[in-house]
Amino acid sequence: MVFPTPLRAAEFKSAYGPKYHYQPNFHGWNGTALFRLGLKTAAFGGAGGIAALLFVSSIPRVKRDILQHIPVVGTLFVKEEVPASDSAF
């Protein structure tokens, strides 16, 4: 960047050239990049959380305390006891 001197008080700026302005950043990350990174991290974190819950869904405590309280699909994790008279074995 050329700094103005007493001999050159103002630089010529074309009306047709690019409009440069200061863009705030934090260690080189601007707001747009941080927002996009946050969205991607949230998506991967949500998918990882759901995968972990389904991986441990066979544990009775997890079924009872977490999975049965999910509003739409909670009834799928309720284990109904089969009466002895209906059991084939």
Looking at residue 6, its pLDDT comes to 54
Residue 26: C-alpha distances to residues 20, 30, 32 (Å): 19, 6, 12
Looking at residue 8, its pLDDT comes to 55
Q: What is the pTM of this model?
A: 0.56
Q: pLDDT (tens digit, 0 to 9) for every residue of the chain, 89 residues total?
A: 556 555 555 567 778 888 888 888 889 999 999 999 999 999 999 999 999 988 998 888 888 888 888 898 888 888 877 777 877 76
Q: Per-residue DSSP letters for 22-75?
A: ----BTTB-HHHHHHHHHHHHHHHHHHHHHHHHHTTTSHHHHHHTGGGSTTTGG
Phi/psi of residue 50, nearest 5 degrees: -65, -40
